[in-house]
Structure formats: structure tokens, C-alpha cells
Structure 1
Amino acid sequence: MNIGLPREIKDNEYRVGLTPGSVHALVEQGHRVWVQSGAGMGSFISDEDYRSAGAEIVPCAEDAWAAQLVVKVKEPTEAEYRYLRKDLLLFTYLHLASNETLTERLLASGASAIAYETVQTADGTLPLLRPMSEVAGRMAVQVGAMYLLKTQGGRGVLMSGVPGVAPANVVILGAGTVGTNAARVAAGMGAAVTVLDISHDRLKMLDDHFPGRLQTLFSDRLNIQEVVGQADLVIGAVLIPGGRSPWLITREMLPQMRNGAVIVDVAVDQGGCVETTRATTHSDPVFEIDGVLHYGVANMPGAVPRTSTFALNNQTAAYVLSLANEGLAAMRHDRALLHGLNICRGHVTHPAVAQAFELACVSPEALIG
């Protein structure tokens, strides 16, 4: 099979879909890999690195997109919609439940699209979402700490405090992979950390892992309202696999929050768990409403591309090889990939995407034979 690796063009997105190691594994299996010149430069991977691994360097995006299987990191932007076609198999993060336009364009094109974020194993694990959730969770605390600086518009609070002065009060909504990693870093920095979730098992796990270093609370409206009002930093870490995130912080809660408080909504790529959140970019990351700074960058891990690219490929490489070897037929024996299929030949195949836009959902098994 011909596999294409185009350069990412989303604002300040420096990750790349394949490492030289992944390319080498594909070439060893007899596949051709077309890498757009400069695709890896943001992650400090040169054209020569890819060439040495067996890739063919192509000059233009069109050349990479002409492949049967295109591997990316982020969803196609408007400038890339013209490359979508019925014989294309696309493997990337999609987050379709918060992007109706892209959903419509994929359906109209007849392309088949597998979303990293909904590839799901039998035990419920999301193996291709996890590495970027780990990065984003840890970054969220770093980003929040920076924007708490008065010089960045925040409350002027040091995360750790100092002897005689209380540390920052950090509230984390969600105890999944993002929330757990955020809690690890925030507690490590000496902040006062409160984590909320609806899963007793997740809260118990955090309690056991960080004894005496954080507080856990059941996530309900009253608890959220109380702790958010006392927070210096709020991290939104809610995930509905494939679906739109619910609003846990409403517009009416903002006036009760501290002036100069910071919200980092990691759930923004699924619509956000804060009603006032909107997607921002690394070029223009924050905005203010009612004295509260909102950070809504939808590709946070793109700011640490070297780490993120290799962490992502550690998990995606085996799936890419399977798709290269068998195409859609790989899903006949790999149910994790089957869960990842969001769009197939003009049909929605993921229930959460269909529900988001009130579209019919077709069983993926019926479409792949």
C-alpha cells in the first residue's frame, strides 16, 4: 500500500504522524511511504532521517495526500478538504462530535476515516488517546501556572505558595488520564489539589496513589459550584469517548469565581466542559470573561512536539501497519480499530458522532463485509 505523511498545517502544530522508526517498519513490509518535505521538521526529524528509513520525499501536500492511506496527527483543516475522496483511508485525531463541517465534508467525499480518539480495546482503554492525554494533563498545570502570573493576566499566585502563604488552589474536573496526570504535576508542585469525578473507583485510585496530597469529591453540581468558587486554577478533564463534553461549569458560575482565576479546558477539542470555552490557538491562546482567563488550545501537545510525536507513535505504529497490510479488512479481527471507524463510505459509523448531529448510524460491520 502507498502511505502518505503530509505536513501538519494547523496553527503551531509541530507533531508529525509517523516517526522514522514507524516508516522503517512499513517499508520492511513492502509498503511505500510518501513523506511531504519538511513534515517532520517541527519535531526535529529531517527529510534525510525519513529517507534513511526508506521513505520517498515528495515536494507537495498533494503528493502525500494521493496515497491510499494517509496518516496525520490533527483533523483536516478547510484547506485540506479538497484532498478528501472516496478511495482514501484517513487515520488521525478527528473529534467529529464538535466539528459538524468536517463531518459533512467527510460524508460527502466518501472517504473512510478512523479516529485515534475512539480506538478502544475490550477493557475500555483508549490506547491512542492516552499518550496525548498524559501530555495534555501534565501541560495543563504548567500552562495554568504560567497564566496565574500577574504579568500574564492572572491572580499573581505561586502554585506552591511559600512558608506562611497558602499555595494555589487547583480544581480538576475529571479523574481520567488527563485528570490523573494533572493531579500528579499539581500535587508535585505543592498546590492544594481537589479532583472531582462521578466514578468512585477513579477517586479511590487517586486517594490510594496520592495519600494526603489531594482531596477527592464526587462530581455533582453543588460540589462543583462550591470548589470552583474557591479555585485559582480549574482544569477541565472530562471525556465522553467520541462524544461532546457536557458543561460542568456554566456561564452563571463565572461571576462567583475569583478575579484572575484561570480555566484550562483540556476538553475543548470535544466542545469543552465549560460553557464559555471556545477553541483557541497557540498563537492566541487565552481570552477573558468576567475576570476569568480561559485557555482553550485544542492541540496542546503540539507545543511539545518532540515528546508528543514519539509518545503517539509508540501506540499508533502497530495499528498503522495493520491498516497498511489489510486496509479496512483489518477491522474484521481487530475490534479496537472497528471502534475507531467514525465515517465509512458516506455513512456515520460511530454512535456518538451520529447523536451529536442527529444523523443515522450504520453498523461498521455491515460496511466492511
Structure 2
Amino acid sequence: METTSEQASAVGGNGPSLTREQFLSAYHDMLLIRRFEEKAGQLYGMGLIGGFCHLYIGQEAVVVGIQMCLRDGDKLITSYRDHGQMLVAGMTPRGVMAELTGRATGYSHGKGGSMHMFSREKNFYGGHGIVGAQVALGIGLAFANKYRGTDEVAVAYFGDGAAGQGQVYESFNLAALHKLPCIFVIENNKYGMGTAIERASASHDLYKNGEPWGIPALQVDGMDVAAVHAAAATAVAHCRAGKGPFILEMMTYRYRGHSMSDPAKYRTREEVDQVRKTRDPIEHVKHILLDAGVEEATLKAMEAEIKAVVNDSAEFAQTSPEPDPSELYTDVVLEA
């Protein structure tokens, strides 16, 4: 039923399990997320982004590796650390950045901000500010897939801090009971807000939390996009075959604080630097590509293109209009 962490590590292996073209695509998408998030951090510091803003820097391999296994029609839902999922789903950097800055051209017309934007066109269902609430909604998306008779899957992302929430276990039960095609992705970045997972959970192997309901699971190196891709392919195949839900615990790490207002004094600078130097997901793929004969000039050109796209999104956001005051009651109050 379950897979041990040692077996799970072998799923992706230490060697390249993707083609050169797939690694190039993964490098592009991970770098886009990182540069976008860095720019969002800058705009937040300038006061152009208000409210909460949770950056995805360091965790890029998780969403990129999983998205490579999905297809049109598959559904995504996640927590408030959501910009990476939006970008890999195909939502435009312009639209996402405009929403972050509260502009009318944003995906929620400037009224949702960082934590609350959606795109039904891209099958991205949020962005949710309530810890763990998106998981129950995720199995709803999976139920809709099954009810309609499709083989589409739903992916529900949540963090280690949400893994102990009651609605998560209720969702495990219902998903297993009805054999719903839902992939539960636990992004274990070691800290729920400022609390280390060891101090918050008696279960230190979160992928085993679905055992009472017989949910198969893998614990994966979430800093290795090839390992993520291999594990995700297993989970997706399981769900498409009508065998019910699957749990993936991604062992990852965030470089920044929980949110932009978090100084992250609960961990040492040396700890963060050590992960950056030895486990960075983007540098890992860059070395693989260089060893495979990809010229550094090719990667530099890609980086320049991504920088231009991100700068364009920031310029677009800053020059877009704010929502008209008449929008204050749109989608909120219906006068009968």
C-alpha cells in the first residue's frame, strides 16, 4: 500500500530521468517563478503590494515537476503561497502581478490580491487564506471530475503547517471512501509559520498520515525536479486509473520568511545558506544542462528573456488602473 521514504527517493533517482528538452523547460519555468517572486518582493518593499505576500522562493521544483505530468482539464488548488502554481498553470505574469498590486487588470480585478485570485480558464481554483481549507475544496474538484466521468485529476497543495488540520483528515477519509482522483501534495518546507515541524507534529513522516484510509503515498526530494516528476507521474497514473487518491510529501525548503512581514529569526542564516549552496533546485538543473552540453550562452539568453518578461509584468501592473469605486459591491451584494 505505502512506499517507504527510501523507495520513494529511488523513484526520481539521482541521475537524469528527464530528457534534455524537459530539463530545459523545467529550468525556464523554475527560473521564471524565482525571478517573478524576487520582483514581487521588491514591489512589496516599495509599498506597491499591500496585505500579506508569501513568496515561493526555494520551492520551485515542486510545482514545476508536478505540472509537467498534468494536462488540460486537471484542476489545481492551493494555499496562500500560490504565485508559483499560478504561473505554471499558464496564468500570465502580467495578470498575476497586476492582481498583486491591486489593479483592475488583475485576475480578480484587483480585489483579491496575493492570496485570493483564480482562473477557471486555467483550472486554477485559488489561493486560499484559511489554513487547510483548500484541501476539502480540492476533493470537491476531484468529485466533480469523477461525477462527470472524466479521468481528470485534482491536485490539492498544502503545507506541513496545515497537515494537522481536521479538515485534511476528513478529506483523506472522503477521498478514499469514494475513490476520488485527488493528489494531496504536502509541501513540507520544515516550518509552519515560525514553528519547526518537529515541534508541531507527532508524525514526522507526513506522507504516512493517510495510512488509516489505505492511501498510497511517496516521500520525495522536493528540491529535485526529476524526482518530483517521477513521483508525480506515479500519482497521476494511479488517479487516472480510478484507484483513488494519492499523497505526495515533498521535502522542500523556503528561503524567505513565512510572509514578507516575517524576519525568520527562528532559524539561522547558516541553515538557509547551506540549503542554497547544496540543494538549490535551479542550480541543480543548471549543472545537469551544462554537463549535457547545453551552452551557457543559451541559458543566459533564457535568463535575459525571463528578466524582460518579469520587468514587463511589473511595468504593466504599475501602469494599470486601480479598480473603479463602483466595483466595491460587484460579486458581493445582489439587489433584488
Q: TM-score, normalised by structure 2?
A: 0.32
The structure carrying a bigger strand percent of its residues is 1
Which structure has the larger Rg over C-alpha atoms?
1
Higher relative contact order (CA 8 A, sep 6+): 2
Q: TM-score, normalised by structure 1?
A: 0.30
The structure carrying a bigger helix percent of its residues is 2
